[in-house]
Amino acid sequence: MKREPRSTPPRSKAVLPRTLLIGALLLSVPATWSALCLWTHLPPLRHVPLLGALLARGEMDDLRAAFSRINTAMPPNARTALALRRASLALADARTGTIEPTQLQDAVAAAARTNARSQLGRLQRAATRMWLLEQADTPIADWWPALRSLLEGTSGADFSHHQAALTRHWAHAYESVGWGPGSAYGLADALVGQPHGPFLQYFAGRLQRVIHAQESAGDAAAAETCRHALQELLRQCVLQPGAEGLRLLAADLLADTLDSDPAMGNDPQRQAIARGLRAWRAAYRETIRGRPTATLDPERRPAVAPLEHERLLSRVALTTWLGSAMVAAALLAIALGWTCFGRRQVTVAGRTVVPHALLVALLVTGTGLVWVHFEPDSVRVDLRGDFSAFRYCWQHPFIAAGATIALILATTLLHRPASGGQSLMLPRLGSVAAGAWLVLAVVLWCSVGAGGLAQRTYERATRMAREDAITAAIGPDAERWPAALRQWEP
């Protein structure tokens, strides 16, 4: 009797879905890691105290060490700026009653001893004397003898505050712990602050009263000495690099000082300077008023590089959109993975699975691109909520995840196989989800690369703009208005 040949068990045909699952898993790991690196290095996220501490627990210790290290090797200009800053802060504290007069005198005297490169300390000492005379209820008419030695001989004096040098120096500390150059400069600028603003306002207001008192007493020479010192101080504060707020304040005070000058009516140059300063200040304020708050600025100031900021913001939004879509496809593929690995007979055709997976990924990606490019306001609002308070919940990741799952279900249900019935529905659904996961992982990786490039461009542009924020805001015309001031000597 002839023996029947033993039948061979059918070979598994689950190669395609298994390959898609394994490939998607392998590609999604580096893509996810790159996205997390981009995300955790965004300026506002690192600036949030709670989450920032969780993501970079030792960063504050590193930052303190960096400041300690660079402050021991501080260049002369930055050291001068630091001493002048302390003196102005001490004067502001004395006016609010925070420190005693003796502490104020010590701080201002220390600044004067440190400042071999700037005569601004002399004027800070003059402001201190005016404050002490005011506290003693000394009449304005009797102030001049106490101020004379400090205000005479200031012709051609250098009143530089060197604030930009201190800001650049402290920005190195932030850069050393991983901040980008633009964000580091912005944080250092906020740390330096505008300590000389209250000093300028107090000094200008009180010295104007001294000028009027000396003119009323017939001492024109003393009045002219005070006026020259004040105008030269304000002129240098307008022209030298520094915080835009200080420069604009000095421009406003100088325009008021020129208006009160008796020589103003007969001097067209002074009239042109006053008009130019006011126009310069108004142009900057008008430009900044029309700009949105920088979502990616830790200090929540108007964007100084708006084009680069919006480009980075759109890249971040697209990355989170694609990341949430990839996670949704991955969860669906993993949940249905048993249909591919646990069964021996899986006849999923690649000619239908691959196009459908590509279609899902392209539709999801295209929808995200349309959103970030044609709805910039909604992108800004959605991202700003999370960066400002973690009680807020983003909307776009849920939309992206829901759209991805809906598209995968739609492609599977609308194209049912001719044979196999319901038995192939779940394997097909899992295969399409795995294919979409694979393609979205590739697209996410590319999106993260574009986001990293946009972040570097944004940091460079922000750094350049912050070093001269007024020119960056107004444009080439920014130099036209104060041009007459550069050629004028009080």
Number of helical H runs and strand E runs in the chain: 22, 0
3-state class (DSSP) for residue 302:
strand
pLDDT of residue 381: 76
Torsional sign, CA 207, 201, 248, 159: positive
Query: In this structure, what token pair is assigned to residue 57?
Result: 């627990």
How many angstroms separate the CA atoms of 239 and 371, rounded? 44
Q: Any residues with CB less than 8 A from the CB of 303 and at least 6 apart, and which? A: 291, 292, 293, 294, 297, 309, 310
φ, ψ for residue 153, nearest 5 deg: 80, 20
pLDDT of residue 1: 43
Q: pLDDT for 41-86, tens place per residue?
A: 887 665 554 444 444 555 677 788 888 888 888 888 898 899 899 8
The b/e string for 453-462 (b: 16+ C-beta within 10 A; e otherwise) is: ebbebbbebb
How many angstroms separate the CA atoms of 279 and 482, rounded? 9
pLDDT of residue 17: 65
How many angstroms separate the CA atoms of 366 and 371, rounded? 9
How many angstroms separate the CA atoms of 294 and 440, rounded? 29
Q: pLDDT for 428-479, tens place per residue?
A: 787 888 888 999 999 999 999 999 999 999 999 999 999 888 888 888 777 7
The whole-model pTM stands at 0.81
Positions in the chain whose pLDDT score sits under 70: 1-17, 44-59, 112, 114-117, 264-265, 337-352, 384-393, 414-424
- Residue 432's identity, in one-letter code, is V
- Residue 430's identity, in one-letter code, is G
Q: Name the burial class of residue 379, with classes exposed (0-12), middle (13-18) and buried (19+) by CB atoms within 10 angstroms of its CB.
A: buried
Domain assignments of the chain as residue spans, ordered by start: 15-42+300-476, 69-260
CB atoms within 10 A of CB 219: 14
How many angstroms separate the CA atoms of 261 and 135, rounded? 28
φ, ψ for residue 334, nearest 5 deg: -70, -40
Which candidate, 189, 171, 185, places its Cα nearest to that of 462? 185
pLDDT of residue 10: 42
Report which DSSP code applies to 116. S
- Whether the CB-CB separation of 248 and 257 falls below 8 Å is answered with no
Complete DSSP assignment for 56-97 = -TTHHHHHHHHHHHHHTT--HHHHHHHHHHHHHHHHHHHHTT
- Residue 319's identity, in one-letter code, is T
pLDDT of residue 443: 94
Helices (H), 375-424: 376-388, 396-414
Cα distance from N-terminal residue to C-terminal residue, the chain: 125
φ, ψ for residue 302, nearest 5 deg: -60, 145
pLDDT of residue 350: 55
Q: Angle formed by the axes of helices 306-335 and 396-414, to 10°?
A: 50
**172: Cα separation from own chain's centroid:** 16
pLDDT of residue 53: 46
